[in-house]
A and B are shown apart, each in its own frame.
Chain A
Amino acid sequence: KAGVTQTPRYLIKTRGQQVTLSCSPISGHRSVSWYQQTPGQGLQFLFEYFSETQRNKGNFPGRFSGRQFSNSRSEMNVSTLELGDSALYLCASSLVTGYGYTFGSGTRLTVV
Chain B
Amino acid sequence: AQTVTQSQPEMSVQEAETVTLSCTYDTSESDYYLFWYKQPPSRQMILVIRQEAYKQQNATENRFSVNFQKAAKSFSLKISDSQLGDAAMYFCAYRSATGNTDKLIFGTGTRLQVFP
A-B pairs under 8 A by CB, number: 58
Q: Is B101 a contact partner of A88 (Cβ separation < 8 A)? A: no
Contacts of A90 in B (CB 8 A): 43, 45
Range, interface on chain B: 20 to 34
B95 on interface, CB distance cutoff 8 Å: yes
- Tell which of A16-24, A42-50, A70-78 binds the partner: A42-50
Residue in contact with B45 in the complex, picked from A48, A58, A92, A97, CB distance below 8 Å: A92
Interface size for A (C-beta < 8 A) is 26
Residue in contact with A98 in the complex, picked from B44, B95, B105, B107, CB distance below 8 Å: B95
Interface of A is mostly: strand
Q: Is B104 a contact partner of A102 (Cβ separation < 8 A)? A: no
Taking Cβ atoms with an 8 Å cutoff, the residues of A that contact B are: 31, 33, 35, 42-43, 45, 48, 50, 55-56, 58, 88, 90, 92, 94, 97-106, 108
22 residue pairs from A and B, CB less than 8 Å apart:
A33-B102, A33-B103, A35-B106, A42-B108, A43-B91, A43-B104, A45-B105, A56-B103, A58-B103, A88-B43, A90-B43, A90-B45, A97-B102, A98-B33, A99-B50, A100-B33, A100-B35, A101-B47, A103-B44, A105-B43, A105-B44, A106-B44
